[in-house]
A and B are shown apart, each in its own frame.
Chain A
Amino acid sequence: MINSSLTNNSLKQLGDMLQAKKISSVELTQSFLDRIRQYNPSINAYISLDEAKTLTQAKAADIRIAAGSAVPLTGIPIAQKDIFCAQGWQTTCGSKMLANFIAPYDAHVITQFDGAGAVNLGKTNMDEFAMGSSNETSYFGSVKNPWSFDRVPGGSSGGSAAAVAARLCAAATGTDTGGSIRQPASLCGFTGLKPTYGVVSRYGMIAFASSLDQAGPMAKSAEDCALMMNVMAGFDERDSTSLNRDKEDYTRELYNSNPNKPLQGLKIGLPKEFFADGLDANVATVIENAIAEYKKLGAEIVEISLPNTGLSIPVYYVLAPAEASSNLSRYDGVRYGHRAAEYTDLMDMYCKSRAEGFGAEVKRRILIGTYVLSAGYYDAYYLKAQQIRRLIAQDFVEAFKQCDVIMGPAAPSTAFKAGEKVDDPVAMYLQDIYTISTNLAGLPGMSVPAGFASSDDGKSLPVGLQIIGNYFDEARMLNVAHQYQQVTDWHLRMPDLNAPEGLE
């Protein structure tokens, strides 16, 4: 008997039930594993599952709870994006290159969850090396959007997204280099946060574009994201870009607001560039309704401009591939990863191993990166992109002189159909038009469920409201999202997995 109301509970509710011993972690974990067994074959959210390992952690959590030393996430089953090395777990990054790789150590994020006594439910599907916006570049197959099985879940954290939306985990981790937490959160209808660059350690997180990659929570609500952040964030000397800041409680602003006008005086900036051509009209209506709700909560609206928004995609598709071409040079078939079965000399072994081990999109990005960094082109591409990156970051500095948070859509449309953009990389890249600029600036960004919009063929699909904050302003952003979730129930809506096509 699968208890879907149990798997639908918030992290706080689950934590309370565990600590009151109304349920054991083993029972809770088993209920998720049962649900995964029922629905994962059709959704394909997980690449690897290891029930024995998972249940061992659940048993240990029960012992810890019995001993009275539990902390908020002790005993709670969490899905981990398959970009995080977890010792003894197959860790593939969605690639044939790492299909047989068993991680010999833990990522910092995994260590943090283990330390909190959380249970690792399994490793979730993703675009290969996090390069994609639809989860269709995964070597392990595409992932279905739980709201409509003919749609993509977004990407690159598409498996984590589908797992959260379908309640195949209590919460999940993701990573966001250009929108890979926020765009799938928007397309699958849940809450996702990309923190300020440097807040969550990148140690043991397989590198794509190191100056942009940042891990964050993907969960059912802002409150759940805050509880996840309390575990994930923190200084780690093993990541040279990890920021040495005091530990914060990300839930601290959630529970002490004026109940009548909880966001009184909050200044919300609306960048005119986020509401221009390219935004689906039905998505725009949902976002406008969300803004109207914020006015009722006491917020004040300020028109702002981020004039270089349109340049964020060209800049990103120089910088991210450049960093990727360097990062992925480590996959040479020598010490780990795929090695060609047949080769002549060392050069042939490198070239064949990489040709076979990488998928088409990853190869394209390595080639772009190699080209823009090659002799004679560095100034025209890489240096130019870095200069425009500063202009984009400067836009936000100016904007935050006028407002406390910035709001707009997280993605230009609702979930598109599987296969629709596979052959058109540029159309796929435009999915991240509203998210990439915050990665370039290193700012925190969220996507929060704001309603549903009708697609061309009449399906009702989730829409995410993006909230962008100033550096290190995650606690305020989480409260801004939390207050909205006190007066709306979009975040509580669940797809009907037994009739995912029948929503219209």
Chain B
Amino acid sequence: MALSTEDIKKIAHLARIEVSDSDAAATLTKLTGILGLIEQMQAVDTTGIEPMSHSQELSQRLRDDVVTKTNLRDAFQKNAPALGNGSTAPAIAGGLYLVPKVIE
């Protein structure tokens, strides 16, 4: 099916990527080409073929129920991004991460 720039904007919103109108138009051209390539699949009769999600037939291993991870919060928080909106301070406080308020 043919996509429109409105579709691109909808998909981009689902993917949480901001797109401008001009970006959406340029993206539409490229995506239409790629989807044209993908459409070749539709010519294949796949009735009754079991989908293959993975090359190895594996079952999930279970591990012993013991503590294996140590607390690396301080190390991880060194990679916190800058807060933004005028502040270059790391977006952390009291071991937590700072984001815009989501609950009124």
Contact = CB atoms under 8 A, between A and B. Distances in A.
Contact of B41 (A318, A348, A440): A318
A358 B49 contact: no
Given A241-B56, A442-B55, A391 B17 contact: no
Interface stretch (A63-71, A100-108, A226-234, A479-487): A100-108
A338 B80 CA distance: 9
Given A355-B18, A367-B27, A440-B55, A349 B38 contact: no
Contacts of B41: 311, 314-315, 318, 381, 384-385, 388
Given A102-B79, A367-B17, A387-B49, A381 B38 contact: yes
B84 A340 contact: yes
Nearest to A325: B15
B52 interface: yes
B18 A354 contact: yes
Interface residues of B, number: 53
- Interface size, A (range): 35 or more
B79 A101 contact: yes
A334 interface: yes
Interface string B90-104: 010000010110100
A104 B16 contact: no
Nearest to A371: B11
Given A367-B17, A374-B14, A104 B44 contact: no
A443 B34 CA distance: 26
A339 B84 contact: yes
A387 B78 CA distance: 44
Interface string A318-361: 10000001000100111111111111111111111111001000
Contacts of B11: 367, 370-371, 374
Nearest to A308: B44
A385 B39 CA distance: 10
B46 A384 contact: yes
Contacts of A353: 81
Contacts of B38: 314, 317-318, 368, 372, 381
A23 interface: no
Interface in B67-82: 72, 75-76, 78-82
Contact of B53 (A211, A364, A381, A391): A211
B91 A339 contact: yes
Nearest to A362: B17
**Most chain B beta-carbon contacts within 10 A, residue among A348, A354, A370:** A370
Interface string A255-293: 000000000000000000000000000000000000000
A211 B51 CA distance: 13
B66 interface: no
B17 A342 contact: no
A427 B58 CA distance: 35
Nearest to A383: B51
B97 to A, nearest CB: 5
A102 B77 CA distance: 11
B42 A364 contact: no
Interface in B1-46: 8, 11-19, 27, 30-31, 33-42, 44, 46
A440 B72 CA distance: 36
A56 B39 CA distance: 53
Interface of B: 8, 11-19, 27, 30-31, 33-42, 44, 46, 49-56, 58, 60-61, 63, 72, 75-76, 78-85, 91, 97, 99-100, 102
29 contacts: A102-B78, A197-B56, A198-B56, A240-B60, A241-B56, A314-B39, A325-B15, A334-B91, A334-B97, A335-B81, A336-B80, A337-B81, A338-B81, A339-B81, A339-B84, A341-B84, A342-B84, A346-B100, A351-B17, A353-B81, A364-B31, A366-B15, A367-B8, A367-B27, A370-B15, A384-B44, A389-B51, A390-B50, A426-B34
Given A104-B76, A336-B76, A352-B18, 17 more contacts: A102-B79, A105-B75, A197-B55, A211-B55, A317-B37, A334-B99, A335-B76, A335-B81, A339-B84, A339-B91, A345-B100, A381-B41, A384-B41, A393-B55, A424-B33, A426-B33, A443-B55
